[in-house]
């Protein structure tokens, strides 16, 4: 394989067997059961402003489960190449990439079709894989950690000495949120299933509770007297408790997921029952609507890496063919931490 300049851009000449790729194709919206491994799928081509990336590792996220079920707002329609988070080597670029990174640079970012040997990524949203890190270790930089940072800082406005409640704290975003909240001087109350409490405690949480306990709101209030910020990603199962424990008027609830299903909130609730600040977050929408703010998040993450606050990730990496099983386990709440797929295995 060689790199060649083409019309001010560059492409990597592929051998004939790299014109097609191994990929996981979601063929319906019946869930991970209809996610199938395919060989001979056409290799994607980078569009304007995109890099073509040889994927070294692809991140698995709950949003992949939602997309497989057709419940992810604005998600792709089946059939499609699944996955949207990846890390790997730049091997090509489309036109209109401002200040392109050199070919061969390893980057982490998001884009369509990450569960494949090659994917495209918008160049404006990638970060170089930190020196000495593997591709898999960098997964989460621009998704899990960017989501946690956005929820805590620009939206959550966390300050030292405040108390933060982090739901689903054993997951990718949850673990990042616990680490970051502690870094910014907050006290952290976390929820996770009992089997995952030890992992969350090791991250520095001050207390870890079972989110399924019926007296969750009462116990959080007993421990804290009310929390300043709630990071809500569970949805129906915890949403009412989240509203109840946030301090009236000054409390903030940042919502960025609904793993247990949608929850409802009425104007009557906000006026007469829960006088709190509720803010919605979708990191992709933030990147599109407020690119300067998103780039500032990426710059802060790079600084956190440089200062050792963000350590290399240690995801469990599985062969691409095991992707459907991993998504089923994730949907059932049987995973902890970050999981990834290797499209070359």
- pLDDT above 60: residue 287: yes
Question: What pLDDT sits at residue 333?
Answer: 86
Question: What pLDDT sits at residue 207?
Answer: 98
- pLDDT above 70: residue 137: yes
Q: 162 near 186, Cβ under 8 Å?
A: yes
Closest CA to 122 of 53, 24, 42: 53
Question: What pLDDT sits at residue 336?
Answer: 82
Domain segments of the chain as ranges? 2-140+315-342, 144-285
Question: What pLDDT sits at residue 24?
Answer: 98
Rounded to an integer, what distance in angstroms lies between the CA atom of residue 70 and that of residue 177?
27
- pLDDT above 90: residue 253: yes
Burial bucket for residue 289 (CB in 10 Å: 0-12, 13-18, 19+): exposed
Rounded to an integer, what distance in angstroms lies between the CA atom of residue 67 and that of residue 169?
22
- What is the dihedral sign for C-alpha 289, 294, 296, 297? positive
pTM of the model: 0.89
Q: In Å, how far are 33, 98, 133, 151 from 11, measured between CA atoms? A: 36, 16, 25, 37
For 85-116, the pLDDT digits (tens) are: 999 999 999 999 988 999 999 999 999 999 99
Mean pLDDT of the 125-142 span: 96
Mean pLDDT of the 16-24 span: 82
Percent of the chain with pLDDT over 90: 91
- pLDDT above 60: residue 8: no
Per CATH, 2-140+315-342 and 144-285 having the same topology is answered: yes
Question: What pLDDT sits at residue 62?
Answer: 92
Chain centroid, CA 37 distance in Å: 23
Task: Read off the pLDDT band of 164 (50, 70, 90).
Answer: very high
Mean pLDDT of the 12-33 span: 82
Rounded to an integer, what distance in angstroms lies between the CA atom of residue 130 and that of residue 137?
9
CB-CB neighbours of 268 under 10 Å = 9
Question: What pLDDT sits at residue 1?
Answer: 42
Question: What pLDDT sits at residue 51?
Answer: 98
Question: What pLDDT sits at residue 14?
Answer: 52
Question: What pLDDT sits at residue 337?
Answer: 81
Q: According to CATH, what is the number of the domain 144-285?
A: 3.90.180.10
- 2-140+315-342: CATH architecture: Alpha-Beta Complex (3.90)
Task: Read off the pLDDT band of 10 (50, 70, 90).
Answer: low
Cα R_g (the chain), whole angstroms: 20
Task: Read off the pLDDT band of 11 (50, 70, 90).
Answer: low
């Amino acid at each position: 394989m060689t790199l060649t300049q083409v019309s001010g851009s560059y492409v990597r000449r592929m051998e004939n067997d790299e014109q097609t790729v191994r990929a996981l194709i979601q063929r319906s919206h019946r869930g991970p059961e209809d996610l199938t491994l395919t060989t001979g799928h056409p290799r994607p081509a980078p569009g304007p402003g995109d890099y073509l990336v040889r994927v070294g590792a692809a991140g698995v996220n709950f949003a992949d489960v939602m997309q497989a079920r057709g419940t992810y707002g604005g998600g792709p329609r089946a059939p499609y190449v699944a996955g949207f988070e990846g890390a790997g080597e730049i091997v090509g670029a489309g036109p209109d990439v401002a200040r392109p990174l050199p070919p061969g640079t390893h980057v982490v970012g998001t884009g369509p079709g990450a569960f494949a040997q090659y994917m495209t990524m918008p160049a404006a949203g990638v970060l170089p894989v930190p020196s000495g890190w593997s591709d898999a270790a960098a997964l989460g930089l621009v998704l899990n950690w960017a989501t946690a940072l956005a929820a805590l800082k620009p939206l959550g406005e966390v300050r030292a000495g405040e108390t933060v409640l982090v739901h689903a704290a054993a997951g990718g975003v949850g673990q990042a949120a616990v680490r970051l909240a502690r870094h910014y001087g907050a006290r952290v109350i976390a929820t996770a299933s009992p089997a995952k409490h030890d992992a969350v405690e090791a991250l520095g949480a001050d207390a870890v509770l079972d989110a399924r306990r019926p007296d969750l709101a009462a116990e959080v209030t007993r421990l804290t007297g009310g929390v300043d910020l709630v990071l809500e990603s569970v949805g129906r199962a915890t949403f009412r408790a989240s509203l109840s424990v946030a301090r009236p008027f000054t409390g903030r609830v940042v919502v960025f997921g609904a793993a247990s299903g949608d929850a409802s909130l009425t104007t009557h609730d906000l006026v007469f029952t829960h006088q709190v600040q509720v803010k919605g977050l979708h990191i992709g929408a933030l990147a599109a609507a407020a690119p300067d703010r998103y780039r500032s998040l990426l710059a802060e993450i790079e600084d956190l890496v440089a200062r050792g606050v963000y350590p290399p990730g240690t995801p469990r990496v599985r062969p691409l063919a095991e992707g459907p099983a991993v998504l089923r386990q994730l949907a059932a709440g049987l995973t902890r931490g970050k999981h990834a797929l290797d499209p070359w295995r």
